Amino acid sequence: MDLKITCIPGDGIGPEIVAEAKKVLDAVAEKYGHVMHYTDILMGGASIDAYGVPLTAEAVAAAKSADAVLMGSIGGDTTTSPWYKLPPDRRPEAGLLAIRKELNLFANLRPAVLYGELRGACPLKEEISAAGFDMLIMRELTGGLYFGERRTTEENGVRKAVDTLVYDENEIRRIAVKGFDIAMKRRKKVTSVDKANVLDSSRLWRSVVEEVAKDYPEVTLEHMLVDNCAMQLVKDPAQFDVILTENMFGDILSDEASMVTGSIGMLASASLNDTKFGLYEPSHGSAPDIAGQDIANPIATVLSAAMMLRYSFDLDREADAIEDAVRQVLKEGYRTGDIMSEGCIRTGCKQMGDLLAERIR
Ligand code: NAD
């Protein structure tokens, strides 16, 4: 299969971790007979330095012409970098917001997996972490409270602020379909999270999700109130497979789920539109404090590349091979600095990429 991939190395550790993800993808291509066609584009600080803007029209066109986009991370040190002296719409992050909008990415996926070998980093009690967990949070990304009308007024000397939370049934249906499709590739369970005891938008959410569920008889659907979900994530995270939720609830719950893994360098993510197209990137930032030292953990980016193979190209066997390689290398005791523990073998960014590529071959 020919895979057309646009890469955004970005800033900070971005170029280092994307190079390792490409190394691993090349090993997959070699083993399973695929051809990778990469086009690199600039975004964020690198694009500001080259073109004066965080994202050019040419870069957007290159991203749109690919089957998927693989990104490192963008941005610099927000207190010292000259990029943060620019007006907000010219700063590195403006490039990210613009590309998400241009590509119509409405579904955000954040897996939170606790690897047996990294259980020590999990902040939960051992009797909870012992069960492990492997969940995926599917968050609606372009609607709800963050995109509704807002205003601040003053009446009789009293300031008043209003935000509005709006969803129509089509916005809910398209994210629900994505959630159920992805559950079919996993353990076939969807937990739809809402606040249907209080909010009209949640009651609509719940009824549309139930309509969509009828097309997926193999998937078990349960509903959970968001406050209960926040508790269950730390009490019994093993119960979750796919958590399907709206924008603000997903924003908060996905950070909570990430934190309970305890390992920021291991967390992948994807943002999808209504075709097979997606933008895949690690959940962490550009880590300017460790850039250029060959010590960053490339695994989150490598796992994002595995998600790309699974969700944009339907190459499940190849995605499994990458995830198995990560488990294998961890089992053999190799660790980058951020996940290092006693008795393990410290590796750099490049060596971690080499090890993963070797295990795939
Ligand atoms: P960060 O995630 O970059 O770093 C937080 C801490 O985690 C740092 O100590 C860093 O060294 C460490 N870390 C992060 N990723 C690591 C990895 N792969 N291996 C080893 N250690 C790792 O968060 P921050 O410092 O708040 O942000 C730095 C820059 O990244 C800012 O400009 C911010 O705006 C940007 N950012 C970009 C994105 C994105 O591109 N999607 C996301 C978050 C932050």
Write the pLDDT tens digit of every residue in 134-182: 999 999 999 999 888 989 999 999 999 999 999 999 999 999 999 999 9
Closest-lying ligand 1 atom to the alpha carbon of residue 296: 19
User: Which residues surround ligand 1 with Cβ inside 6 Å?
Assistant: 13, 73-76, 78, 93, 96, 264-265, 281, 284-290, 296-297, 300, 338
Low-confidence ranges of the chain (pLDDT < 70): none
Contact 142, 97 (CB under 8 A): no
At 290, list the tokens.
């460790």
- Reply yes or no on whether 227 is catalytic: yes
The H or E element that residue 224 is part of is strand 220-225
Ligand 1 site-directed mutation target among 73, 266, 271, 336, most atoms within 8 Å of CB = 73
Q: Distance between CA 178 and CA 138 in Å, rounded?
A: 8
Q: Distance between CA 232 and CA 224 in Å, rounded?
A: 10
DSSP letter assigned to residue 67: S
Closest-lying ligand 1 atom to the alpha carbon of residue 17: 18
Contact 250, 42 (CB under 8 A): no
Residue having the nearest C-alpha atom to atom 6 of ligand 1 = 287
C-alpha separations of 13 from 44, 265, 305 in Å: 13, 11, 16
- Reply yes or no on whether 255 is catalytic: yes
Provide the 3-class DSSP secondary structure of residue 279. Answer: strand
Which of 40, 77, 146, 294 does the annotation list as catalytic? 146
Q: What is the pLDDT of residue 88?
A: 87
Residue having the nearest C-alpha atom to atom 26 of ligand 1 = 285
Q: What is the pLDDT of residue 264?
A: 85
Closest-lying ligand 1 atom to the alpha carbon of residue 281: 41
- Reply yes or no on whether 146 is catalytic: yes
Hey, do 1-109+264-361 and 123-260 end up sharing a CATH topology, with the first three levels equal? yes
Closest-lying ligand 1 atom to the alpha carbon of residue 287: 3
Q: What is the pLDDT of residue 323?
A: 96
- Reply yes or no on whether 167 is catalytic: no
Q: What would be the CATH architecture of the domain defined by 1-109+264-361?
A: 3-Layer(aba) Sandwich (3.40)
- Reply yes or no on whether 49 is catalytic: no
Q: What is the pLDDT of residue 97?
A: 86
All structural domains of the chain with their residue ranges: 1-109+264-361, 123-260
Which of 163, 168, 255, 320 does the annotation list as catalytic? 255
Q: What is the pLDDT of residue 101?
A: 87
Residue having the nearest C-alpha atom to atom 38 of ligand 1 = 285
At 296, list the tokens.
């960053």
Q: Give 123-260's CATH code, choosing from 3.40.718.10, 3.40.50.2300, 3.90.79.10, 3.30.70.260.
A: 3.40.718.10
Beta-carbon contacts of 188 under 8 Å, excluding residues fewer than 6 positions away, are: 218, 219, 220, 241
